[in-house]
Amino acid sequence: MHFFSPVPVMNLLEIVRSLTTSDETIEQMKAVGERLGKTIIVANDYPGFTVNRVLVPMLNEAIYLVMEGNTPEEIDQGMM
Task: Name the burial class of residue 5, with classes exposed (0-12), middle (13-18) and buried (19+) by CB atoms within 10 angstroms of its CB.
Answer: exposed
Residue 73: the pLDDT is 97
pTM, two decimal places: 0.76
Which one of 14, 34, 68, 73 is the catalytic residue? 14
14-69: pLDDT as tens digits? 999 999 999 999 999 999 999 999 999 999 999 889 999 999 999 999 999 999 99
| Same-domain pairing of 1 and 38 | yes
Active-site residue, 14 included: yes
Considering only CA atoms, give the Rg of the chain: 16
Overall number of domains in the chain:
2
| Same-domain pairing of 7 and 33 | yes
3: containing domain = 1-46
